[in-house]
């Protein structure tokens, strides 16, 4: 696929104003150097959503959402990366360039455009047929659906004929017409049979969907990419979906997500059902935040899509054996993507009910109650791991360990995994260490005892102190809350370098990466040394940040001028950092600089001042080491000469 040049993206972010982009969807007010408003990505009463015109970046201190103008369009409108760039470019009156494409790229794009037009035309025709078919309208009314819901979900009807779509696209005998309709999954073509018959005599082309209520399946842009059909009367299959096509993949698509996005944000959770009839019926009954998988098990891609919309997912399954199996597959898809700020629950309705019938039988408040009481992911984990195993016997406990092992191994090393492991150890009469050893997990270090103390280089820099209520967790090298109050049992050496210099440099470099790109080898060594004295994690962060700075591309200067940094450089750099393995640490640091009004001149002065202090510290350390040699009568003449040289340099420093 053709790529959009990175230089164009940088130029685009320089040309647009993120305040204007966000302001089209969020009411913003001036607050100091930045603008503030209510976050569009979570429900709040006091504004915690900040937009910086100087950094061209937004950040929510409540839920942690952040990014550039491109990121905002992706999250708010549900657009893909390329689509967001194209929309932003159109608003700026720019054409999006593409790097040289192959013939296959061109052909693939043309095919996608042709299929999109075909699916849109088919959806329009199905809608027209619904209006003209009283029997289909009465069926929907009988299911309790109004015309408003039918319009919101663009429902339609496929007539009970074999070549209905010929009214839109022309005769199926035209191979070009048939080819596109076959690729879109709208037609079925029977294979020739018999040795004495020609293909033209035996090939039959007919509509895939006949006498069915049609549910258009839309992508995040609202474009129809496939269909689901529900038969009106008796017959099999009751539900029929489009096959896999260049536009439609069941494992990467959720029915109703386009329609439910705003409701998901306002309700702060998404309800995942098993069928599209559940989705539209729940929307009719006051639950517009429902989506559905499309005749396939929940996949990791489904979970990723949902977690981009909300931190809370509730899966609703039938209480029968098939529902239990579907729930277990959803659990397996969720565990690798879990984090401690996410909440996933599993709702099992009585076998005689689906979500629609349950709400109609017991009312919306009762359904809201069972949603709140749905089984937590940890409880369902224990149920799956221990089902059919007798925990009162050694064999049953061993079988439970065996069942839990792949589930635990699939989880990231988060606090929830630790809690599940400890609870499982209690239930199986084991110790956490024994269970960790069996599963091959890394054993967490024991907590610091009362009589021990933390050395200086274990202390956390200021910018990684915990922020309660924020989505991002504290950095891995953060000191525990009570560590500063512990009394050391031995003398601790004083810091060998000013404790704030590493943080000061990190704060400057994350805002002005081109300054890091310009650092020479000597200054880089000083920066790394200061970070190393702080902690191993601080050193790792500084190394990565300098490497990230080296990847920054400057905008070529015009008319012989040197390369420059655009207004969107900060936003573009933050998106780059979000792809780093140290992204959580960068987010903590970013929070500390969002309110900063530091200009480039001040940044250069701060960086120069930090390096001068580090150089002085380095010279003093070297001088102290030589003085110790002199006192011990082990100094050479070269050492003495160096000592005098250092003394002169420090005198005039």
Q: Which of 254, 256, 346 is closest to 299 using CA atoms?
A: 254
Q: How far apart are CA 53 and CA 35, in angstroms?
A: 8
Instruction: Answer yes or no: is pLDDT of 394 > 90.
Output: yes
Q: How far apart are CA 313 and CA 291, in angstroms?
A: 11
pLDDT computed for residue 610 by the predictor: 84
CA atoms within 13 A on the CB side of 202: 10
Per the listing, tokens 């025709």 go with 125
Model pLDDT for residues 179-205, shown as the tens digit of each residue: 989 999 999 998 765 555 554 556 789
pLDDT computed for residue 442 by the predictor: 59
Cα-to-chain-centroid distance, residue 511: 23
Tell me the pLDDT of the chain averaged across its residues: 82
What 3-state DSSP class applies to 227? strand
Residue-wise over 153-173: b if at least 16 C-beta within 10 A, else e? bbbbbbbeeeebbbebbeebe
Q: How far apart are CA 228 and CA 6, in angstroms?
A: 39
What is the rounded average pLDDT of the residues 8-29? Answer: 85
**Among 342-346, 393-397, 455-459, 555-559, which stretch is predicted with the lowest mean pLDDT?**
455-459
Model pLDDT for residues 366-393, shown as the tens digit of each residue: 999 999 999 999 999 999 999 989 999 9
> Could you tell me if 254 and 292 are in contact, meaning their C-beta atoms sit under 8 angstroms apart?
yes
What is the CB neighbour count within 10 angstroms for residue 624? 10
Q: How far apart are CA 602 and CA 608, in angstroms?
A: 10
- Res. 398 pLDDT band, cuts 50 70 90: very high
Q: Quick one: 642 exposed, middle or buried, by C-beta within 10 A (0-12, 13-18, 19+)?
A: middle
Helices 6-15 + 69-77 axis angle, to 10: 90
> Could you tell me if 33 and 52 are in contact, meaning their C-beta atoms sit under 8 angstroms apart?
yes
Instruction: Answer yes or no: is pLDDT of 468 > 60.
Output: no
% of residues, the chain, pLDDT over 90: 36
pLDDT computed for residue 574 by the predictor: 85
Model pLDDT for residues 348-362, shown as the tens digit of each residue: 999 889 898 999 999
pLDDT computed for residue 624 by the predictor: 87
Superfamily of domain 101-191+200-247 in CATH is DNA primase, catalytic core, N-terminal domain (3.90.980.10)
Q: How far apart are CA 11 and CA 561, in angstroms?
A: 17
Model pLDDT for residues 605-647, shown as the tens digit of each residue: 888 888 888 888 878 888 888 888 888 888 888 888 888 887 7
Model pLDDT for residues 149-178, shown as the tens digit of each residue: 999 999 999 999 899 999 999 999 888 889
> Could you tell me if 70 and 88 are in contact, meaning their C-beta atoms sit under 8 angstroms apart?
yes
What CATH number was assigned to the domain covering residues 6-91?
3.90.580.10
Model pLDDT for residues 404-454, shown as the tens digit of each residue: 999 999 999 899 999 999 999 999 999 999 999 999 885 444 444 433 333
pLDDT computed for residue 372 by the predictor: 95
Instruction: Answer yes or no: is pLDDT of 131 > 90.
Output: yes
pLDDT computed for residue 259 by the predictor: 92
pLDDT computed for residue 197 by the predictor: 53
Instruction: Answer yes or no: is pLDDT of 459 > 70.
Output: no
What is the rounded average pLDDT of the residues 22-34? Answer: 86
**CA 528 vs CA 368, 544, 592, 606: distances in Å:** 54, 11, 21, 17
Q: Which H, E and C letters describe 408-450, residue by residue?
A: HHHCCCCHHHHHHHHHHHHHCCCCHHHHHHHHCCCCCCCCCCC
Residue 213 DSSP class: E
Helices 536-550 + 569-577 axis angle, to 10: 130
Q: How far apart are CA 345 and CA 314, in angstroms?
A: 5
Backbone φ and ψ of 5, nearest 5°: -60, 140
pLDDT computed for residue 561 by the predictor: 56
CA atoms within 13 A on the CB side of 527: 26
Q: How far apart are CA 650 and CA 645, in angstroms?
A: 9
Q: How far apart are CA 318 and CA 524, in angstroms?
A: 60
Q: How far apart are CA 82 and CA 96, in angstroms?
A: 10
Q: How far apart are CA 425 and CA 430, in angstroms?
A: 5
Best-predicted range by mean pLDDT (87-91, 121-125, 487-491): 121-125
What is the CB neighbour count within 10 angstroms for residue 84? 21
Integer-rounded Cα Rg, in Å, for the chain is: 31
The beta-carbon contacts of 615-620 under 8 Å, at least 24 apart in sequence, are: 615/526, 616/650, 616/653, 617/496, 617/497, 617/498, 618/526, 618/529, 619/646, 619/649, 619/650, 619/653, 620/650
Looking at the domain covering 460-466+495-652, what would its CATH class be?
mainly alpha
Q: How far apart are CA 349 and CA 367, in angstroms?
A: 10
pLDDT computed for residue 599 by the predictor: 78
What are the DSSP calls for 293-304, one per residue?
--SS---HHHHH
Residue-wise over 113-138: b if at least 16 C-beta within 10 A, else e? eebbebbeebbebbbebbeebeebbe
Q: How far apart are CA 381 and CA 352, in angstroms?
A: 25
Domain definitions of the chain by residue range? 6-91, 101-191+200-247, 249-387, 388-439, 460-466+495-652
Looking only at the bridges linking them, the beta strands covering 205-207 and 66-67 are unpaired
Fold of 249-387: Dna Topoisomerase Vi A Subunit; Chain: A, domain 2 (3.40.1360)
pLDDT computed for residue 472 by the predictor: 36
Q: Which of 473, 630, 461 is closest to 537 using CA atoms?
A: 461
Cis ω on the peptide bond leading into residue 237 (within 30° of 0)? yes
Model pLDDT for residues 488-539, shown as the tens digit of each residue: 333 334 334 334 688 888 888 988 888 888 898 888 988 998 888 888 888 8
Instruction: Answer yes or no: is pLDDT of 323 > 70.
Output: yes
pTM score: 0.60
Instruction: Answer yes or no: is pLDDT of 7 > 50.
Output: yes
Residue 44 DSSP class: -
Looking only at the bridges linking them, the beta strands covering 343-349 and 312-318 are parallel
**pLDDT, greater one: 94 or 268:** 268
């Amino acid at each position: 696929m053709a790529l959009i040049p990175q230089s164009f993206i940088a130029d685009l972010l320089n040309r647009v104003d993120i305040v204007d982009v966000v302001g089209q969807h969020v009411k913003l007010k001036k607050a100091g150097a930045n603008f503030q408003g209510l976050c569009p990505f979570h429900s709040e009463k006091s504004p915690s959503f900040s937009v910086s015109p100087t950094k061209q970046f937004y950040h929510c201190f409540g839920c942690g959402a952040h990014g550039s103008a491109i990121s905002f369009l992706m999250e708010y409108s549900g657009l893909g990366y390329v689509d967001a760039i194209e929309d932003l470019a159109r608003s700026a009156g720019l054409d999006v360039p593409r790097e040289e494409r192959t013939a296959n790229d061109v052909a693939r794009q043309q095919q996608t455009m042709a299929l999109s037009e075909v699916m849109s035309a088919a959806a329009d025709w199905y809608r027209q047929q619904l209006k003209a078919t009283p029997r289909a309208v009465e069926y929907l009314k009988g299911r309790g659906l109004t015309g408003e819901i039918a319009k919101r979900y663009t429902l339609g009807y496929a007539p009970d004929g074999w070549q209905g779509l010929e009214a839109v696209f022309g005769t199926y005998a035209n191979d070009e017409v048939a080819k596109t309709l076959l690729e879109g999954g709208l037609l079925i073509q029977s294979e020739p049979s018999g040795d004495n018959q020609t293909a033209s005599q035996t090939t039959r082309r007919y509509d895939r969907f006949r006498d069915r209520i049609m549910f258009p399946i839309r992508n995040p842009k609202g474009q129809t990419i496939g269909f689901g059909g529900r038969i009106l009367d008796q017959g099999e299959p009751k539900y029929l979906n489009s096959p896999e096509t260049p536009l439609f993949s069941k494992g990467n698509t959720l029915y109703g997500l386009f329609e439910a996005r705003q409701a998901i944000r306002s309700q702060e959770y998404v309800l995942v059902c098993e069928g599209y009839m559940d989705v539209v019926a729940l929307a009719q009954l006051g639950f517009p935040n429902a989506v559905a998988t499309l005749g396939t098990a929940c996949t990791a891609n489904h979970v990723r899509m949902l977690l981009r919309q909300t931190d809370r997912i509730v899966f609703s399954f039938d209480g029968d054996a098939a529902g239990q199996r579907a729930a277990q597959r959803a659990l397996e898809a969720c565990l690798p993507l879990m984090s401690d700020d996410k909440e996933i629950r599993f709702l099992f309705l009585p076998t005689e009910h689906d979500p629609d019938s349950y709400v109609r039988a017991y009312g919306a408040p009762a359904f809201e109650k069972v949603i709140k009481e749905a089984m937590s992911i940890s409880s369902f984990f224990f149920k799956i791991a221990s089902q059919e195993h007798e925990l009162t016997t050694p064999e049953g406990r061993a079988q439970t360990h065996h069942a839990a092992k792949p589930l635990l191994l699939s989880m990231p090393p988060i606090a929830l995994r630790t809690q599940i492991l400890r609870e499982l150890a209690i239930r199986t009469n084991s110790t956490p260490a024994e269970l960790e050893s069996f599963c091959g997990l890394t054993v967490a270090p024991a907590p610091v005892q009362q009589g021990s103390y933390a050395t200086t280089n274990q202390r956390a820099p200021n910018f990684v102190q915990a922020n309660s209520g924020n989505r991002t967790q504290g950095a891995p090298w953060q000191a525990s809350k009570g560590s500063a109050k512990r009394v050391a049992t031995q003398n601790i050496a004083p810091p060998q370098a000013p404790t704030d210099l590493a943080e000061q440099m990190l704060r400057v470099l994350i805002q002005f990466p081109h300054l890091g790109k310009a650092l020479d080898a000597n200054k880089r060594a000083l920066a790394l040394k200061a970070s190393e004295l702080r902690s191993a994690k601080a050193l790792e962060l500084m190394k990565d940040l300098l490497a990230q700075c080296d990847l920054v591309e400057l905008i070529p200067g015009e008319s012989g001028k040197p390369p420059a940094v655009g207004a969107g450089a900060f936003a573009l750099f933050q998106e780059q950092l979000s792809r780093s393995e140290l992204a959580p640490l960068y987010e903590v640091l970013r929070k500390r600089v969002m309110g900063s009004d530091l200009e480039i001149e001040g940044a250069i002065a701060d960086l120069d001042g930090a390096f001068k202090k580090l150089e002085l510290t380095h010279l003093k350390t070297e001088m102290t080491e030589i003085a110790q040699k002199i006192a011990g009568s082990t100094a050479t003449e070269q050492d003495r000469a160096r000592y005098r040289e250092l003394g002169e340099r420090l005198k005039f420093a």
